[in-house]
């Protein structure tokens, strides 16, 4: 954006879409494929976060969960502005868990593969219970990390992502 001033990136060296995901035509299949990668990575991240998170980081995690929770609730699927806020805060929660893992690569990788959050959330619009299930499973992940339950944190994240996968599979079956 030439002539618009100086822009400072939140993460220097990071490109918006280094994998070219925006050019992939089948968004439903893309959401499924991204979720398959997330299923391999994020439970491990949650386990590491439970092992490594400091008390200050756990406070930040709870604060982010509260922000996410405040964007959720009845009417979410119909309210485009709230939906956009929910998606953004959901991605922030997942990225924060990656940061808490202590692995320096994960916080740079998760925003890329979590771009599927938007696709999944929009595909789940027809499922009234999808938002409630997501909030319940997010809460379980946060609780397990907060209490340093390494194995339970990984399992809770896995269960959260499996719920997402089920929504995607239901959407694809209707297509």
pLDDT in tens, 49-71: 999 999 999 999 999 999 998 88
**How far apart are alpha carbons 89 and 97 in whole angstroms?**
12
The DSSP letter of residue 167 is: H
Rounded CA separation 77/82 (Å): 8
Tell me the CA end-to-end span of the chain in Å, nearest whole number.
38
Is residue 28 within 8 A of residue 171, CB to CB? The reply is yes
Q: Which residues contact 142 (CB under 8 A, 6 or more apart)?
A: 61, 62, 65
Alpha helix (H) residue ranges in the chain: 27-52, 55-71, 80-100, 106-113, 116-123, 130-146, 150-174
If 0-12 CB within 10 Å is exposed, 13-18 middle and 19+ buried, where does residue 49 land? buried
Residue 102, judged by CB atoms within 10 A of its CB (0-12, 13-18, 19+), counts as: middle
Question: 63 to each of 47, 60, 74, 128, 156, how far by Cα in Å?
Answer: 19, 5, 21, 26, 19
Q: pLDDT tens digit string along 105-119? A: 998 888 877 776 776
Tens-place pLDDT, residues 123-140: 665 555 667 778 899 999
Let me know how long the chain is. 175
Single pTM value for the model: 0.82
Confidence class for position 1, pLDDT limits 50, 70, 90? very low
pLDDT of residue 6: 46
């Amino acid at each position: 954006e030439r002539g618009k001033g100086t822009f400072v990136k939140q993460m220097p060296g990071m490109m918006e879409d280094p994998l070219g995901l925006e050019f992939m035509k089948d968004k439903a299949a893309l959401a499924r494929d991204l979720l398959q990668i997330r299923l391999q990575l994020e439970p491990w991240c949650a386990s590491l976060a439970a092992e490594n998170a400091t008390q200050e980081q756990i406070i930040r995690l709870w604060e982010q969960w509260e922000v996410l929770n405040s964007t959720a609730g009845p009417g979410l699927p119909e309210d485009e502005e709230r939906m956009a806020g929910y998606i953004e805060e959901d991605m922030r929660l997942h990225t924060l868990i990656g940061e808490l893992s202590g692995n320096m690569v994960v916080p740079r990788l998760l925003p890329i593969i979590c771009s599927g959050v938007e696709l999944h959330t929009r595909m789940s619009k027809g499922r009234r219970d999808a938002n409630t299930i997501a909030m319940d499973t997010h809460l379980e992940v946060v609780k397990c990390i907060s209490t340093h339950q390494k194995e339970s944190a990984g399992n809770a994240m896995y269960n959260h992502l499996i719920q997402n996968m089920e929504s995607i599979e239901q959407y694809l079956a209707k297509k």
